[in-house]
Amino acid sequence: MTIAPDHFRQALQRTPFHDRMAALATSEDWASWNTYRVPRVVDKLSIEYFAVRSGCAVMDLTPMEKYRITGPDAFAYLDRLIVRDISGLKPGRVSYVAWCNDEGKVIDDGTLFRFGENDYRLCSQHHQLDWLQLSAAGFDVDIAVETHDVAALAVQGPTSCAVLGAAGVTGLETLKPFDIMETRCHDVPLMVSRTGYTGDLGYELWTRPEHAVDLWDHLFAVQDRFDIHAMGLSALEMVRIEAGFIMPGFDFNTAEAAIRKDYDRSPYEVGLGWIVSLDKGHFTGRRALLEEHSRTPRRRLTKIVVDGNKPVGQAFIYNRVRGRQIGEVKCWTWSPILKKNLAIADINLVRGKLPRRLWARIDYQRELKWHSTWAECQPTTKPFYSPEHRLQTPPPRY
Amino acid sequence: MTDRKDAIVIGAGHNGLVTAAYLARAGWQTVVVDAGDEPGGMAAPICLADIYHFPGLANLAYPVAPELRDELDLDDYGYTPGAAIDTVTLAADGKHLIIGQDSVAGEGLSQADIDAYPAFRARYLEFARALQPLLTARPPRLRNMDLADKSTLAKLGWKVRAGLGREAMYEFLRVVGMNIYDVLDEAFDDDRLKGAIAAEAVMGSAMGPRSPGTVWTWLQWLQGELNGPLTTVRRDQAGLIRALVASAETAGATIRCGARVDHILVEDGVATGVTLADGEVLAADIIVSSADPRSTFTKLVGAPQLDAMFANRVSQVRGAGVVTKVLLALRDKPVIAGLPEARLGSRFLVAPSMRYVEQAYNPSKYGEYADRLVLDFVIPSVVDGSMAPAGRHFMSVNVAFTPYALKAGWENAKDGLLKAVLAQLSEHVHDLDALILHREILTPADIESRYHAVAGHWHHGELSLHQSFMLRPLYGAAQYDTPIKRLFLCGAGCHPGGGLTGLPGRNAARRIIKLGARR
């Protein structure tokens, strides 16, 4: 990527899809994501939400941090970096991963793409170059930032497979979840992965920035036959909570951002214990995690369904009405499809277990006047919403 | 893997031997493996032309700590500390200064300096003594302190406050982080005297007299004097290496030379043995490395077994060697201008002023060495006749501020440096060229390849304040144990640091025995 000499005149960078997105963005509700200008809401939130859940939504993923990791020690390097056992990750597959600092606290999570023998791409929420380079000492590995050199779109929703097929991307029917495929969309060379952050059927498309507009146009050319909508960050926030996906830096403080003692979180505490492989050999944080694993857990990010229909907002969790404060809500949404009030809360455990009763004190405004009410919360370990078609291969035709 | 030992000690330098002797005496089956042909590490004998015997890089020595002599019966095995020597700082005009333990003499010296010197030395020896409780104890942790940690800190506090008294304590706290230049300027007038002490304070460090923390490095040098007076080295360093070998072997330890460790075996975060360069595998309950911490972690253990931030801290340990050793075999006793023959057994400094020392240091920051070098040399064959054939002599020169990372590359610069050193020595030694039979030069790069010490650093890492006590060699490995279970450190890279003290080895062994790390 070349940087224009007058780049500073523009506070936020434009992605290669920006012109097309801007043409649709009637709400003018822009947000900054990794220094790029992306829509919070493109047109209307409810339309975008229901596009993901019952049609097809297209989101600009370009700002996501992307790192290309190559070299003879690429596997050994990633194996030491990542808490998960990735020895079974074959070329053409993707894995959800997380990594920790020496103290076993989560730095970030992301997806790891394996393209070839010693060729990987790591996508992450936050900028990771410093940690990736610091971790590279002693390994023959090359780390390149690809964030600005790859244009990416998320195409998500029950009809996403059909939409892509109609738009000219063939062969997706056999693509399993976490598979990668090299293909074309008409004249646009493309990589497609069956991945996403919505908990629905969905794909992510990766191409060179110069092909971005063509790809966008091919997709939206089938708008006459399918319900396709561009989607912003607000709808994504709703559906990712429904899917039970956590967001580092929002649902918990990441290790690199933590200043105060005990304000960071281990993978066990954020519900990522299932990807920690203590028996795979050494990785950064293993010693600390081994020790933590042998102790009684102290707290855990917990999915809760809050009674009633008032969005819970920034609320404390109590053990009973007007009882002891035992946790706090980290993110929340009203789920239109489930007709439920959902949240993910950081809750202190009692002797390693969730307290029997959880209550949220909900503060809300009416005509600018604050009111307060109590709602009981039901914890759950499963995703709030996980439709069958999400994992089916071939996906059902809608 | 049938022959499983209790402990493998990597490196048969004096610290490795000390640790092995302690472990063996505690009943541990111990084997020491060393890459060299003979035990002794940096003090292992160097033989020039088969007839000159020199104890490696060592030039000067203080007696080893009394605890060590006593507990390992070193005197019974032939260790004898030598006789006290003076330091002579050479002047171009032949007006040399004779600097003793508690007096200084020389032409042109002011009465004020003559009077001030004994009190100054006594005060700084007192400061060094105040730090003594730390030397023979493992450095205290700052987090999760146990009783021993608190007791060490309490003893230190007591020594500094009650031992020194209020006035001396204030002075100690004032100067401990300072540079030696300012302190000496306050105390003395004479350039030669200040230059000599400044050179002593920075010898072996990548620091000039004006670098902060050089009072600290001098205090560490003075700590040796708490065990007895400074001596020149002798053949086999006064029998120290032989005595340690005998002490260890009598207690049952095995010493294997010519056995270079290729890597330390780590299984599931636990050290289980070593693989030698020839592929032989040795298994043991614990592994103790007297190799420098950077080599131990990055080469012998390897980054895949370490956490990323720890590995990063290892790579940031400061310590690139700056001292080149020049060994000269002489056909006759040298004559030094303006010096009575009876003084030839002294230690000689070419460091005529603090500015001279600072200027010699300056180019070393930029990968060069100065035109005028700081030299620290001895002619130990005058003291110990067995080091050279009858009538012949031996000179050992430490050349300060010759940086490991020389811009020009050492292969190209070595001859030039040797010439410069000889030219400068010739200003003081009559007809030196005609005296020289053999010469050898060991640059920091040579020291690295010969002794497997990263960047050829004597002390395996600078003896700076930020790498002392609980920060030596680095946070996360400062109490002789390491993030790898059953892997310990015992070399000069550990607290209390370099020099022929044996204290890192002793402290490490005591820690290991106390932990009862045997299976």
Across chain A, how many H-helices and E-strands are there? 8, 19
In this predicted model, what pLDDT tens digit does every residue of A302-357 receive, in sequence order? 999 999 988 899 999 999 999 999 999 999 999 999 999 999 999 999 999 999 99
**Shortest alpha-carbon distance between residue B474 and chain A (Å):** 15
Please report residues of B whose CB lies closer than 8 A to that of A102.
Answer: 307-310, 476
CB-based burial label for B340 (10 Å; 0-12, 13-18, 19+)? exposed
Band (B271; pLDDT cuts 50, 70, 90): very high
Which residue type, as a one-letter code, is found at position B383?
V
* Identity of the amino acid at B33: V
Average pLDDT in the A53-82 region?
97
Residue B244 has pLDDT above 90, yes or no: yes
- Taking a C-beta distance cutoff of 8 angstroms, is the pair B2, B279 a contact? no
For residue B181, give the 3-state DSSP assignment. helix
Give residue B2's pLDDT: 52
Q: Answer yes or no: are the C-beta atoms of A96 and A111 closer than 8 Å.
A: yes
Is the CB of B303 less than 8 angstroms away from the CB of A138?
yes
Burial code of B466-476, b = ≥16 C-beta within 10 A, e = fewer?
A: ebbbbbbbbeb
Q: Is the distance from CB of A257 to CB of A106 less than 8 angstroms?
A: no
Own/partner long-range contacts of A339-343 (Cβ < 8 Å, ≥24 apart) = A340/A305, A340/A384, A341/A305, A341/A306, A341/A307, A341/A308, A341/A309, A341/A310, A341/A311, A341/A312, A341/A375, A342/A241, A342/A242, A342/A303, A342/A304, A342/A305, A342/A306, A342/A384, A343/A241, A343/A303, A343/A304, A343/A306, A343/A312, A343/A377
Return d(Cα B395, Cα B54) in angstroms, integer.
Answer: 9
pLDDT for B133 equals 78
Confidence of residue B519 (pLDDT cuts 50, 70, 90): low
AA letter at A197: Y
Assess contact for A199 and A386: CB atoms under 8 A: yes
Residue in B298, B304, B308 closest to A102 by CB: B308
- Give the integer Cα–Cα distance in Å for B117 and B100: 10
Read off the tokens for B260.
């270079």
What rounded mean pLDDT belongs to chain A?
96
CA-based radius of gyration for chain A: 22
Distance (Å, whole) CA B433 – CA B431? 6
Q: What is the percentage of chain A residues whose pLDDT exceeds 70?
A: 99
Quick check: helix, strand or coil at residue A82?
Answer: strand
The residue type found at A213 is V
- Which residue, among B307, B310, B312, would best test binding to A if mutated, counting the most A CBs under 10 Å from its CB? B307
What is the least distance, in Å, from the CA of A136 to any CA of chain B? 8
Which residue reads 């008409």 in tokens? Answer: A186
Range list of β-strands (E), B52-136:
52-54, 60-61, 87-89, 97-99, 104-105
Contact between chains at A282 and B312 (C-beta distance less than 8 A): no
Say how many CA atoms lie within 13 Å of B59 toward its Cβ: 25
Inter-chain residue contact B309 with A134, CB threshold 8 Å: yes
Residues in chain A with CB shorter than 8 Å from the CB of B306 are 138, 282
Residue in B with minimal Cα distance to A140: B303
- Which tokens go with B256? 């294997």
Each residue of A238-258: pLDDT tens digit? 999 999 999 999 999 999 999
Question: In terms of C-beta distances under 8 Å and separation of at least 24 residues, what long-range contacts does A218-223 make, across chains too?
Answer: A218/A167, A218/A168, A218/A185, A218/A186, A218/A188, A219/A58, A219/A153, A219/A155, A219/A163, A219/A164, A219/A167, A219/A185, A220/A20, A220/A58, A221/A167, A222/A163, A222/A166, A222/A167
Q: Report how far residue B448's alpha carbon sits from residue B294's, in angstroms, rounded to the nearest whole number.
A: 12
**How far apart (Å, rounded) are the C-alpha atoms in residues A128 and A131?**
5
Query: At residue B463, does pLDDT exceed 90?
Result: no
Q: Is there a contact between B312 and A287 if contact means CB atoms under 8 Å apart?
A: no
* The total number of residues written for chain A in this structure: 398
State the alpha helices, DSSP H only, in B298-443. 308-315, 354-361, 410-426, 432-435
The answer to whether B48 and B440 are in contact (CB under 8 A) is: yes
| CB B217, CB B464: distance < 8 Å | yes
What's the angle, vertex CA A261, arms to CA A259 and CA A264, rounded to 5? 75
User: Quick one: what percent of chain A has pLDDT higher than 90?
Assistant: 95
Give me the residues of B, 266-325, that contact A with CB < 8 A.
266, 268-269, 298, 302-312, 315
pLDDT band at B1 (very low <50, low <70, confident <90, very high): very low
DSSP code string of A140-173? --EEEE-TTT-EEEEEESTTHHHHHHHHT---GG
Does the beta-carbon distance from B306 to A131 stay under 8 Å?
no
Q: Between chains, do A102 and B307 touch, taking CB under 8 Å as contact?
A: yes
Q: Does B303 sit within 8 Å of A137, measured CB to CB?
A: yes
Query: Taking CB atoms and an 8 Å cutoff, what residues of chain B touch A290?
Result: 269
For A285, nearest residue in chain B (alpha carbons): B307
Q: Which residues of A touch B309 (CB under 8 A)?
A: 101-102, 134, 284
Per-residue confidence (pLDDT) for residue B48, from 0 to 100: 82
Q: Which of A282, A293, A294 to mutate to test the interface with B (most CBs of B within 10 A)?
A: A282
* Averaged pLDDT of chain B: 92
pLDDT (average), residues B282-300:
96
Are the beta carbons of B306 and A282 separated by less than 8 Å? yes
* Residue in A with minimal Cα distance to B303: A138
Q: How far is B7 from chain A (nearest CA, A)?
A: 23
Local structure of residue A284 (DSSP, 8 states): T
Render pLDDT for B304-337 as a digit per residue (tens, 0 to 9): 999 999 999 999 999 999 999 999 999 999 999 9
- To the nearest whole Å, the CA of B308 is away from the closest chain A CA by 5
- Report the length, in residues, of chain B: 519
A303, A353 contact by CB (below 8 A): no
Average pLDDT of the residues in A152-166: 97
CB distance B269–A137 less than 8 Å?
no
CA dist list (Å): A390 to A90, A210, A333: 22, 31, 21
Question: Counting Cβ atoms within 10 Å, is residue A145 exposed (0-12), middle (13-18) or buried (19+)?
Answer: middle
pLDDT at B163 (0 to 100):
79
List A residues 86-105 in contact with B (Cβ-Cβ < 8 A). 101-102
- Residue A242 near residue A383, CB atoms below 8 Å: yes
pLDDT at B124: 95
pTM: 0.91
Per the rule left: phi > 0, alpha: psi between -120 and 50, beta: everything else, B125 is alpha
pLDDT reading at A398 higher than 50: yes
Residue B151 reports pLDDT greater than 90: no
Residues B504, B509: Cα–Cα separation, whole Å:
9
